[in-house]
Structure 1
Amino acid sequence: MAETTRGEARRTSFPIGDDLSEMRRRTREFLAAAALGELRETNFVLAISEAANNVLDHAGTEGLVVLRCDAERVVAEIIDEAGLLTDTGAGRVQPPIGSRRGYGLWLMREMCDSVEILTERGASTVRLTMLRS
């Protein structure tokens, strides 16, 4: 989908495909105007990429990334239609040392200003937010 603008707010969306490098490239292009700073932008792109990878890995669907930016924040919603992620508290506690899985949501919570897990109409959404301060 093409980027849309309303006043100061901007929005774009695109499907999650097997080529996560293309998704990261498109995300970085969108974030360039947000001026988050190199570290915060890198953390945000990594968190979005991890959420998208979780959709491919666990939901078995391609999913959708929706990016929004306004004067105060940048929001990424990673949506999967399978709706398998229903634990709104997932990732609040660091996985045990030596665990091979379970780090994704925990890392997202460490790297972003806010992480929400929403379930609506049978779909799951991970909403990641970075403040533009």
Structure 2
Amino acid sequence: MAERTRGEVRRTSFPIGDDLAEMRRQTREFLAAAALGELRETNFVLAISEAANNVLDHAGTGGWIVLRCDDDRVVAEISDEAGLLTDTGAGRVRPPIGSRRGYGLWLMREMCDSVEILAERGASTVRLTMLRL
């Protein structure tokens, strides 16, 4: 297990672009020191990737990913500039069987310890949290 320094807060950010593989690489690089464990790290990276893909698919604008890691948790904030995601309860219920859409936020909620949807000042942010157990 990686050594933790109490009180340290690490942070990075990068724009959401069309190269989601590169975004996942950068995210994994940042998460390496968090020592989440292989399954939790994979789930977190997939949830972040899904949120970034939603920005590209639905918002049609630029977006940013901000990653923070402290003693207790890792937080990813995936933001867009369109502000179309305003339903703070989206994804709480599994989509009906056979549905072609609507799984992204539901899966994020299944894979992360906490998911928050924030809509403010014309922007939408999905805040994903994974606890450092």
Instruction: Please give the range of the TM-score, normalised by the shorter of the 2 chains.
Output: over 0.9
Report if aligned partners of 1:24, 1:45 keep a CA contact under 8 Å in 2.
Answer: yes
Residue deviations 1:41-69 (CA, integer Å, cap 9, x gap)? 00000000000000000000130000000
Report if aligned partners of 2:7, 2:71 keep a CA contact under 8 Å in 1.
Answer: no
Q: What 5-or-longer segments of structure 2 have no aligned partner? A: none
Tell me if 1:86 matches 2:71.
Answer: no
Partner of 1:102: 102
Report if aligned partners of 2:85, 2:124 keep a CA contact under 8 Å in 1.
Answer: yes
Q: 1:85 to 1:5 in 2, by over 3 A?
A: farther
Report if aligned partners of 2:15, 2:65 keep a CA contact under 8 Å in 1.
Answer: yes
Report if aligned partners of 1:2, 1:13 keep a CA contact under 8 Å in 2.
Answer: no
TM-score (norm 1): 0.95
For the residue of structure 2 that corresponds to 1:109, the secondary structure is helix
Count of matched residue pairs: 133
Q: Which runs of 4+ in 1 moved over 4 A?
A: 1-7
For the residue of structure 1 that corresponds to 2:24, the secondary structure is helix
Q: 1:87 to 1:42 in 2, by over 3 A?
A: same
* Residue correspondence of structure 1 range 37-48 to structure 2 within 5 A: 37-48=37-48
Residue deviations 1:96-117 (CA, integer Å, cap 9, x gap)? 0010100000000000000000
Residue deviations 1:61-104 (CA, integer Å, cap 9, x gap)? 13000000000000000000100000000000000001010000
Q: 1:131 to 1:93 in 2, by over 3 A?
A: same
Deviation at 1:4, TM superposition (A): 16
Report if aligned partners of 2:11, 2:68 keep a CA contact under 8 Å in 1.
Answer: yes
Deviation at 1:3, TM superposition (A): 18
User: What CA distance in whole angstroms lies between the structure 2 residues aligned with 1:125 and 1:4?
Assistant: 28
Deviation at 1:120, TM superposition (A): 1.1
Q: 1:65 to 1:21 in 2, by over 3 A?
A: same
TM-score (norm 2): 0.95
Residue deviations 1:10-63 (CA, integer Å, cap 9, x gap)? 000000000000000000000000000000000000000000000000000130
Q: 1:132 to 1:5 in 2, by over 3 A?
A: closer
